[in-house]
Amino acid sequence: MAVKAPFNYIGNKYRIIDSIQEFFPENIDTFVDIFCGGCDVSINTKANNVYANDINYFVIGILEEFQKHDVDYILKYIDSTIEKWQLSKTNEGGYKAFRDHYNQTKNPLDLYVLMCFSFNYQFRFNSSHEYNNPFGRNRSSFNEVMRNNLVLFKRQIEDIQFSALDFCAFDYDVLKPGDFIYADPPYLLTCGSYNDGKRGFRGWTENDDYNLLQILTELSDRGVNFALSNVIEHKGLTNDTIIDWSAENDYIIHGINFNYDNCNYHTNNRDNVTKEVLITNY
């Protein structure tokens, strides 16, 4: 069974990991997860060398801290922080005081604890890169499930090489013919939550899609296998750049997750369709 990252990362692939991995190659030497987010895909993909990259240096900072310390240290740190700040599902004052403290000191493990008590367990920042997610009253806490996930997760990340780069700045020379890259970028058609300015990073644009497709084509031309997750149809809109690029290069589009919101299968209402796909060059 797949290991779950101890986050509730927006866009994480945990729930559909099997349907994606069904199309992953076997016997991977070097694997790059170029938009790794909470790392649900990196930790569940077997390879001799794993690189996990994401522009979100807050989450990469937490992952590096998890990697650096042993699990007892991490759990002790979390428990003593919860006790010190009296964090609970009801103590909003404690949460806010701890949030102020984090924004002044920026310790990645504190950010992890803070996130555990926040609304929907989200990483949200203002334009000054201060964490500003509200309190998760009666809902969020560092519970037993997260504790267990963290222990299992910690084992899986020991050898991963993390980086917090824009995908354009990553050194793709680590990939040689036969290696594999998985790209799970924000999806142009659905990425409101990445472009709402609340994540503290620049948004995702058509130009980013274009640059990413170019990088994947170049890698493909030199024998690297790739799999690209995306949404090519959503509420009556289509991502023609990606559809045309796949057709021109004979890449294969695999349907992964077709959602029909408020679904009525008998109508032809394209406005309710979201077509999530995995595109591969093999």
Ligand X SMILES: C[S@@+](CC[C@H](N)C(=O)[O-])C[C@H]1O[C@@H](n2cnc3c(N)ncnc32)[C@H](O)[C@@H]1O
Structure tokens at 156: 């899986």
- Which residues, listed in sequence order, are joined to residue 280 by a DSSP beta bridge? 227, 252
Closer to ligand X by Cβ: residue 95 or 226 = 226
Q: How far is the CB of 204 from ligand X (least distance, A)?
A: 6
CB of 166 to ligand X, least distance (A): 4
Residues that bind ligand X (CB under 6 A): 9, 11-13, 35-38, 40-41, 54-56, 166-167, 184-186, 204
| C-alpha neighbours within 13 Å on the C-beta side of residue 41 | 31
The nearest distance, CB 12 to ligand X, in angstroms, is 3
Shortest Å distance, C-beta 212 to ligand X:
9
- Taking alpha carbons only, the member of 241, 244, 254 closest to residue 281 is 254
95 vs 182 by CB, closer to ligand X: 182
Identify which of residues 54 and 110 has a Cβ nearer to ligand X in the complex: 54
DSSP readout, 15-40? GGHHHHHTTSPSSEEEEEETT-TT-H
CB of 274 to ligand X, least distance (A): 14
**Tokens at 135, concatenated:** 């309190």
In the bound state with ligand X, the residue whose beta carbon lies nearer, of 112 and 135, is 112
Q: In the bound complex, which residue of the shown chain has the CB atom lying closest to ligand X? A: 37
Nearer to ligand X, 41 or 256 (CB): 41
What are phi and psi for residue 44, nearest 5 degrees? -105, 10
- State residue 149 phi and psi, 5-degree precision: -60, -40
CA distance 237 to 277: 15
> Which 8-state DSSP code applies to residue 226?
E
